[in-house]
Amino acid sequence: MNEVVTQIADKVGITPEKAEKAVGMMLGFLQREGADGPVAKMIEAIPGGTDLVARFNGEGSGSGGGLLGGLMSAIGGGGIMGLGQQLMSEGLGMSEISALAKETIAIARQHAGDETVDQVIASVPGLSQFA
Protein backbone atom coordinates (compact mmCIF):
# COMPACT_ATOMS: atom_id res chain seq x y z
CA MET A 1 0.00 0.00 0.00
CA ASN A 2 1.26 3.41 -0.99
CA GLU A 3 2.37 5.64 1.93
CA VAL A 4 0.43 8.60 0.50
CA VAL A 5 -2.78 6.54 0.37
CA THR A 6 -2.26 5.34 3.94
CA GLN A 7 -1.75 8.94 5.09
CA ILE A 8 -4.96 10.05 3.37
CA ALA A 9 -6.91 7.06 4.77
CA ASP A 10 -5.76 7.86 8.30
CA LYS A 11 -6.72 11.54 8.02
CA VAL A 12 -10.14 10.80 6.51
CA GLY A 13 -10.88 7.81 8.76
CA ILE A 14 -11.50 5.17 6.08
CA THR A 15 -9.74 1.93 5.15
CA PRO A 16 -6.59 2.18 3.02
CA GLU A 17 -8.29 0.03 0.37
CA LYS A 18 -11.20 2.47 0.06
CA ALA A 19 -8.81 5.43 0.03
CA GLU A 20 -6.65 3.80 -2.65
CA LYS A 21 -9.59 3.27 -4.97
CA ALA A 22 -11.12 6.70 -4.27
CA VAL A 23 -7.83 8.55 -4.85
CA GLY A 24 -7.30 6.58 -8.07
CA MET A 25 -10.82 7.49 -9.21
CA MET A 26 -10.27 11.16 -8.34
CA LEU A 27 -6.94 11.35 -10.15
CA GLY A 28 -8.43 9.55 -13.16
CA PHE A 29 -11.27 12.08 -13.19
CA LEU A 30 -8.77 14.96 -13.13
CA GLN A 31 -6.82 13.34 -15.95
CA ARG A 32 -9.99 13.23 -18.10
CA GLU A 33 -11.41 16.63 -17.12
CA GLY A 34 -8.43 18.92 -16.51
CA ALA A 35 -5.78 20.67 -18.58
CA ASP A 36 -3.39 17.99 -19.87
CA GLY A 37 -0.02 19.51 -18.96
CA PRO A 38 -0.65 20.53 -15.34
CA VAL A 39 -2.72 17.42 -14.54
CA ALA A 40 -0.08 15.04 -15.91
CA LYS A 41 2.64 16.90 -14.03
CA MET A 42 0.65 16.74 -10.79
CA ILE A 43 -0.22 13.04 -11.10
CA GLU A 44 3.38 12.12 -11.92
CA ALA A 45 4.62 14.11 -8.89
CA ILE A 46 2.39 12.22 -6.41
CA PRO A 47 4.14 9.00 -5.33
CA GLY A 48 2.15 6.15 -6.87
CA GLY A 49 -0.24 8.56 -8.63
CA THR A 50 0.34 7.19 -12.12
CA ASP A 51 -0.20 3.63 -10.87
CA LEU A 52 -3.46 4.57 -9.13
CA VAL A 53 -4.80 6.17 -12.31
CA ALA A 54 -3.78 3.11 -14.34
CA ARG A 55 -5.51 0.76 -11.88
CA PHE A 56 -8.72 2.67 -11.21
CA ASN A 57 -8.90 5.24 -14.05
CA GLY A 58 -11.85 7.02 -12.49
CA GLU A 59 -14.20 4.09 -12.85
CA GLY A 60 -16.22 2.42 -10.14
CA SER A 61 -15.96 -1.34 -10.19
CA GLY A 62 -18.31 -4.06 -9.18
CA SER A 63 -21.98 -3.47 -9.91
CA GLY A 64 -21.74 -1.31 -13.01
CA GLY A 65 -19.95 1.74 -11.59
CA GLY A 66 -18.22 2.29 -14.90
CA LEU A 67 -21.48 1.92 -16.76
CA LEU A 68 -23.20 4.32 -14.36
CA GLY A 69 -20.41 6.83 -14.87
CA GLY A 70 -20.75 6.46 -18.63
CA LEU A 71 -24.51 6.92 -18.46
CA MET A 72 -24.14 9.94 -16.15
CA SER A 73 -21.80 11.56 -18.66
CA ALA A 74 -24.10 10.73 -21.56
CA ILE A 75 -27.08 12.44 -19.92
CA GLY A 76 -25.11 15.43 -18.74
CA GLY A 77 -24.52 14.31 -15.16
CA GLY A 78 -20.78 13.89 -15.52
CA GLY A 79 -18.19 16.24 -14.18
CA ILE A 80 -17.55 16.55 -10.49
CA MET A 81 -21.12 15.50 -9.64
CA GLY A 82 -20.71 12.29 -11.61
CA LEU A 83 -17.50 11.57 -9.72
CA GLY A 84 -19.35 12.15 -6.45
CA GLN A 85 -22.00 9.62 -7.50
CA GLN A 86 -19.32 7.06 -8.35
CA LEU A 87 -17.62 7.57 -4.99
CA MET A 88 -20.94 7.26 -3.14
CA SER A 89 -21.56 3.98 -4.98
CA GLU A 90 -18.28 2.81 -3.42
CA GLY A 91 -19.76 3.40 0.05
CA LEU A 92 -18.36 6.85 0.81
CA GLY A 93 -20.44 9.61 2.39
CA MET A 94 -20.35 13.26 1.32
CA SER A 95 -18.19 14.29 4.29
CA GLU A 96 -15.70 11.53 3.48
CA ILE A 97 -15.62 12.52 -0.20
CA SER A 98 -15.02 16.16 0.71
CA ALA A 99 -12.26 15.22 3.16
CA LEU A 100 -10.69 12.87 0.58
CA ALA A 101 -10.67 15.61 -2.05
CA LYS A 102 -9.12 18.13 0.34
CA GLU A 103 -6.45 15.68 1.55
CA THR A 104 -5.64 14.63 -2.02
CA ILE A 105 -5.19 18.28 -3.02
CA ALA A 106 -3.02 18.90 0.05
CA ILE A 107 -0.81 15.91 -0.88
CA ALA A 108 -0.64 17.12 -4.49
CA ARG A 109 0.52 20.55 -3.26
CA GLN A 110 3.28 18.90 -1.20
CA HIS A 111 4.60 16.95 -4.16
CA ALA A 112 3.74 19.01 -7.27
CA GLY A 113 3.74 22.53 -5.83
CA ASP A 114 1.10 25.22 -5.49
CA GLU A 115 1.43 26.60 -9.01
CA THR A 116 0.76 23.26 -10.73
CA VAL A 117 -2.12 22.36 -8.41
CA ASP A 118 -3.68 25.82 -8.83
CA GLN A 119 -3.57 25.34 -12.63
CA VAL A 120 -5.33 21.98 -12.24
CA ILE A 121 -7.97 23.47 -9.94
CA ALA A 122 -8.60 26.33 -12.36
CA SER A 123 -9.07 23.88 -15.25
CA VAL A 124 -11.75 21.70 -13.61
CA PRO A 125 -15.18 23.27 -12.96
CA GLY A 126 -16.29 22.79 -9.34
CA LEU A 127 -12.92 21.66 -8.01
CA SER A 128 -12.12 24.97 -6.30
CA GLN A 129 -14.58 24.16 -3.49
CA PHE A 130 -12.11 21.51 -2.27
CA ALA A 131 -8.96 23.63 -2.52
Residues 67-123 pLDDT 10s: 444 444 444 456 888 889 999 999 999 999 999 999 999 999 999 999 999 999 999
pTM assigned to the model: 0.83
Residue 74 lies in a domain: no
Residues 22-50 pLDDT 10s: 999 999 999 988 888 999 999 999 999 99
> At CB < 8 A and 24+ separation, what contacts does 81-88 make?
81/126, 83/25, 83/26, 83/29, 83/58, 86/25, 86/58, 86/59, 86/60, 87/22, 87/25, 87/26, 87/60
Residue 120 lies in a domain: yes
Number of domains in the chain: 1
| Predicted local distance difference test score (pLDDT) of residue 1 | 61
Residue 22 lies in a domain: yes
Residue 106 lies in a domain: yes
